[in-house]
Structure 1
């Protein structure tokens, strides 16, 4: 349900998101997951996607579809943290249609934090950890 998520971002669908069947193609949902997560990390955790020494890489993702979106319908992406470890985080995402309480899709996304140089796993930086703590359920 909508109230189970701590952060929301409205993401506009794009013309190119629709497939031949007239709805947003399933692979695009993962793009919405990536967008809500990284927008949050940049705004609230200070993630520097261009020059930061530490980045998050996707180790696992999953999506369960319940209803479809179609252009030009906005997607209201809800975000929460289901598990926060020393080097990784498991985000839980709900994609909602405007005004509805139940999600059109749910899923999870696991980030492992690594040094940009060499891709060696590292502990989650303090600023990012603090932002992630705020999303824990």
Structure 2
């Protein structure tokens, strides 16, 4: 497996400050790996809600996570503040690949980075649907070209 290359802070266009919590730490004294995925989910959904394109309770279209990945470069610990950087590297017909970098507050290199893919589906039938125009418009400012040296 090819070692991933960390993407610097400048590679991300949207940031969300996240305060670690006492319960995020594990018995080894650092944020547990599963918590990183909740940070990923938090920054993506925060962006979509603020952009007005995610109707949590009644929206006709919802995004289901079908793929996740994370590389860890340095530990995060409570009580650190982190900054979750967000970008989009692919918009398909019904799917979006979000990439997230988790940075210790003020650091240029991520402590972790990864991605997840949403497939957008009809809330009732759970069948894939084309990305709504409003969602595409909201995600365009985050869209960057993926590079071969970044996460696959």
What TM-score range do you get, normalising by the shorter chain? over 0.9
**Aligned residue pairs: how many?**
137
> Which residue, 117, 138, 142 being the options, matches 1:131?
138
Q: TM-score, normalised by structure 1?
A: 0.97
Report SS of the residue matched to 1:134.
helix
Q: Deviations over 1:81-122 (max 9, x none)?
A: 011111000011100011110000010110000011010100
Supply the distance in 1 between the matched residues of 2:119 and 2:59 (Cα, whole angstroms). Answer: 15
Q: How does 1:115-126 map to 2 (within 5 A)?
A: 115-126=122-133
Gaps in structure 1 of 5+ consecutive residues: none
Cα RMSD for the two superposed structures: 0.8
Report SS of the residue matched to 2:142.
coil
Q: TM-score, normalised by structure 2?
A: 0.88
Gaps in structure 2 of 5+ consecutive residues: 1-7, 145-152
Q: Does 1:98 align with 2:123?
A: no
Report SS of the residue matched to 2:96.
strand
Q: Deviations over 1:9-33 (max 9, x none)?
A: 0111111100001110000000000
